[in-house]
Amino acid sequence: MGTIHNQEGGASALWLGIRRFTQFLKVNMLRKLWMFAMGPLLCGAAVESQGALISLWTFDSSSASSPITANSGIGAQPTATLTTSGNTTLANAGTTLNDPRTGTGFPAATFRLEYISGSGGNFTLHITGTALSSFQVSYAGENTAGASSSQTWAWSLNNSTFTALGTQPSALGGTFATRTADFSGVTALNGQTDVYLRLSFGEKDAFDNIQVTAVPEPTNMALALFGVGFAAVAMLRKLKAESSRGKSRK
């Protein structure tokens, strides 16, 4: 009888050891799964918090006419348009300021969008805001007459009713300088199918290298990884609870 009890006790101890070892493997595998899932998600969140180039206008050709399509092959929306209002020309006196293109194969300073006479004018950028937020527009600008010229940006969802941006860029002067219109605080633009951004200004203003940037919203892959991570955490808690119950039965 003593031998039988010893055998039964040995088998129980062996089974308990196997069970604990299995739980140990499961816990460690789930921890690795959690890190695998959350690592790309957290890295993706850090990347997506920065603005990506959506559209760019560098006016490399003098033959373009309004509406002017964005540069081909650069930015996420090369079909975005810039529509002018007022007496404009593409003058051969551009700048490389605010031009994101680097390396060989790109032209040097080419043309600029210049408003040559009258009481001023405006241009309107039309982009798609689907899955985008925190819009910004940067550009190089100058007043060809050497005067101080104020800039007034506004936004719209229908190209009819425009709302002025709360904080406007500083006035342009007689030499090219970079300016930025920050629409990141205008949450009404986030995710909208049509986004219109309009700049109104005075006579003799000129512009070049207009960039639109925005922050992409989290991708479906990131959401899927989060789901995997959430499931891993739930399973990990379940295994820990089972382990605690097993210890309490001793």
Same domain for 237 and 116, yes or no, is no
Helix axes 220-248, 2-48, angle to 10 degrees: 150
d(CA 75, CA 202): 29
Same domain for 148 and 30, yes or no, is no
Report if pTM > 0.75.
no
Same domain for 175 and 230, yes or no, is no
Instruction: Quote the distance between the C-alpha of residue 78 and its chain's center.
Output: 16
Same domain for 75 and 128, yes or no, is yes
Closest CA to 56 of 76, 67, 70, 72: 70
Same domain for 23 and 100, yes or no, is no
Residues 145-175: pLDDT tens digits?
Answer: 888 899 999 999 999 999 999 999 999 999 9
CATH number at residue 68: 2.60.120.260
d(CA 68, CA 43): 36
φ and ψ at residue 44, rounded to 5 degrees: -65, -40
d(CA 206, CA 220): 41
Same domain for 210 and 223, yes or no, is no
Digitized pLDDT (tens) for each residue of the chain, 250 residues in all: 555 445 555 556 655 555 665 565 555 655 555 455 455 444 444 444 578 999 999 999 888 889 999 999 889 999 999 999 988 899 988 999 999 987 767 777 889 999 987 677 899 999 999 999 999 999 999 999 888 899 999 999 999 999 999 999 999 999 999 999 999 999 999 999 999 999 999 888 999 999 999 999 875 444 545 555 555 556 666 656 665 655 555 5
How much is the pLDDT for 164?
A: 98
Same domain for 106 and 121, yes or no, is yes
Same domain for 32 and 132, yes or no, is no
Same domain for 149 and 212, yes or no, is yes
Q: Please give the residue range of the domain that contains residue 237.
A: 2-48+219-248
What Cα–Cα distance (Å) separates residue 74 from each residue in 49, 55, 68, 89, 101? 20, 7, 15, 24, 9
Q: What are the respective helix, strand and coil percentages of the chain, to the nearest 5?
A: 30, 35, 35
d(CA 51, CA 136): 8
Same domain for 81 and 181, yes or no, is yes
Residue 224, SS3?
A: helix
Same domain for 131 and 239, yes or no, is no
Same domain for 43 and 101, yes or no, is no
Q: Find where tokens 């379940």 sit.
A: 238
Strands (E), the chain: 52-57, 68-69, 81-91, 112-127, 132-143, 152-156, 163-164, 177-183, 195-201, 205-216
Domain count, the chain: 2
**HSE of 34, CA atoms in CB hemisphere, 13 A:** 14
Burial of 68 (0-12, 13-18, 19+ CB in 10 A): buried
